[in-house]
C-alpha cells in the first residue's frame, strides 16, 4: 500500500502536465512571433533598398534637394570631422613614438601613421562618427516627418517621397562621406606631424615626404572603395529607420537611436568583409 502511494505521488498530475504544456506553447508562440517579425523586417529592408536603387535611375531627379543634402552632410560635418581627424593622428603618434624609439625605428613613424590612417583607422573611425551624426539626423528628420504625416501628404500631392527624401540623402551620403574620410586622413597626417614635434623637431617637408613615400596605390584604392559602401550603408539605414518610424512621438527617438546602432554595426561588418577581400587579392 505504501509503495503504491509513492508511485502515485511520483506520477505528475494532469493539471501539472497541462500547465507545463501551456507554458511551453506560449514560449514557442512568442519565439515564432519574434522570428516572423525579424524576417519581415529583413524583407522590408531589402524591398526598401531595391526601391531606392530603382528610383535612383528614374527620371525627374531632385537635383536641388541633392545639393542641399550634400551641403548638410558634407559642409556642416566639417568641424566635427576636422577635430576627429586631427586627434586621430595626434594620439596615434604620441602612443606609437615611444615604442618605435625603443627599437630604434623612430624614423618609420611618419610612414606607419600614414598607412594606418589611410588603410583602416581613418575610414572606420570617420564612418562611425558619421553614423552617429548623419545617420541619427536622417532617422530623426524622416521620423518626425512620418509622425507629422508630411510623408503621407507628399504622396497625396503626387510627389514621390522615395525620390525626394530617400534617394537624395542616400546619394549625398554615398558621395560626401568618402570625401570626409579623405579630409580626415589628411588632417590626421597633419596632426601626426604636430605630435611628432611635441618632443622633437621634424620639418614639415621631411615628415610628409616620408609619410607619402610609404604609401602605395594599393593602400588607397581599397580604402576609397569601402568608403563609398560606408556612405551608402549609413544613408540607407538612416532613411529606412526614419521612413518606417511609428506614429508616436517617441518613435522619432527610437528611429534615431536604432539608425546609429545598426549603421555602426554594418560599417564594422562591411569593413571586415573588405579586409578579407583585400587579403585575398
Residue 163 included in any domain: yes
How sure is the predictor about 16, in pLDDT bands with cuts at 50, 70 and 90? low
The predicted structure's pLDDT at residue 37: 77
Residue 41 included in any domain: no
The predicted structure's pLDDT at residue 134: 93
Per-residue model confidence as pLDDT tens digits over 34-45: 777 778 888 888
Per-residue model confidence as pLDDT tens digits over 49-103: 899 888 888 778 888 999 999 999 999 999 999 999 999 999 999 888 888 888 8
How sure is the predictor about 147, in pLDDT bands with cuts at 50, 70 and 90? confident
The predicted structure's pLDDT at residue 97: 86
Residue 30 included in any domain: no
Residue 275 included in any domain: yes
Read off the pLDDT of each residue in 249-261 and give the average, rounded to a whole number.
89
Q: What percent of the chain has pLDDT over 70?
A: 89
Between helix 109-116 and helix 168-196 the angle, nearest 10°, is: 170
Residue 53 included in any domain: no
Per-residue model confidence as pLDDT tens digits over 106-124: 788 888 999 999 998 999 9
Residue 43 included in any domain: no
- The mean pLDDT of the chain is 85
Q: Is 199 exposed, middle or buried (0-12, 13-18, 19+ CB in 10 A)?
A: exposed
Overall domain count for the chain: 1
What range does the domain containing 80 cover? 62-280
Read off the pLDDT of each residue in 201-217 and give the average, rounded to a whole number.
86
Sign of CA dihedral 41, 135, 239, 117: negative
- Report the SS3 class of residue 245: coil
Residue 211 included in any domain: yes
The predicted structure's pLDDT at residue 126: 94
Q: What is the pTM of this model?
A: 0.85
Residue 25 included in any domain: no
pLDDT above 50 for 142: yes
How sure is the predictor about 215, in pLDDT bands with cuts at 50, 70 and 90? confident
The predicted structure's pLDDT at residue 7: 46
What's the N-to-C CA distance of the chain in angstroms? 80
Which of 192, 184, 263 shows the shortest CA–CA distance to 223?
184
Residues 6+ apart with CB under 8 A from 180: 74, 77, 78, 81, 126, 130
Amino acid at each position: 500500500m505504501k509503495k503504491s502511494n509513492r508511485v502515485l505521488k511520483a506520477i505528475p498530475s494532469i493539471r501539472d502536465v497541462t500547465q507545463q504544456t501551456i507554458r511551453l506553447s506560449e514560449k514557442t508562440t512568442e519565439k515564432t512571433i519574434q522570428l516572423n517579425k525579424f524576417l519581415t523586417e529583413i524583407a522590408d529592408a531589402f524591398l526598401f533598398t531595391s526601391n531606392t536603387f530603382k528610383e535612383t535611375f528614374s527620371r525627374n531627379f531632385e537635383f536641388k534637394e541633392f545639393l542641399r543634402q550634400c551641403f548638410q552632410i558634407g559642409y556642416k560635418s566639417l568641424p566635427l570631422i576636422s577635430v576627429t581627424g586631427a586627434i586621430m593622428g595626434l594620439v596615434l603618434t604620441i602612443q606609437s613614438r615611444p615604442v618605435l624609439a625603443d627599437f630604434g625605428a623612430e624614423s618609420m613613424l611618419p610612414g606607419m601613421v600614414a598607412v594606418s590612417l589611410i588603410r583602416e583607422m581613418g575610414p572606420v573611425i570617420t564612418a562611425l562618427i558619421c553614423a552617429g551624426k548623419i545617420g541619427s539626423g536622417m532617422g530623426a528628420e524622416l521620423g518626425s516627418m512620418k509622425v507629422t504625416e508630411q510623408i503621407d501628404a507628399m504622396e497625396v500631392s503626387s510627389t514621390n517621397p522615395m525620390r525626394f527624401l530617400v534617394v537624395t540623402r542616400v546619394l549625398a551620403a554615398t558621395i560626401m562621406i568618402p570625401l570626409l574620410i579623405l579630409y580626415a586622413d589628411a588632417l590626421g597626417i597633419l596632426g601626426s606631424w604636430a605630435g611628432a614635434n611635441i618632443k622633437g623637431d621634424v620639418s614639415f617637408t621631411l615628415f610628409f615626404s616620408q609619410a607619402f613615400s610609404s604609401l602605395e596605390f594599393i593602400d588607397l584604392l581599397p580604402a576609397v572603395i569601402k568608403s563609398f559602401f560606408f556612405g551608402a550603408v549609413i544613408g540607407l539605414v538612416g532613411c529606412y529607420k526614419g521612413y518606417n518610424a511609428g506614429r508616436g512621438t517617441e518613435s522619432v527617438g527610437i528611429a534615431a537611436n536604432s539608425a546609429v546602432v545598426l549603421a555602426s554595426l554594418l560599417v564594422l561588418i562591411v569593413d571586415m568583409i573588405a579586409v578579407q577581400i583585400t587579403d585575398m587579392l
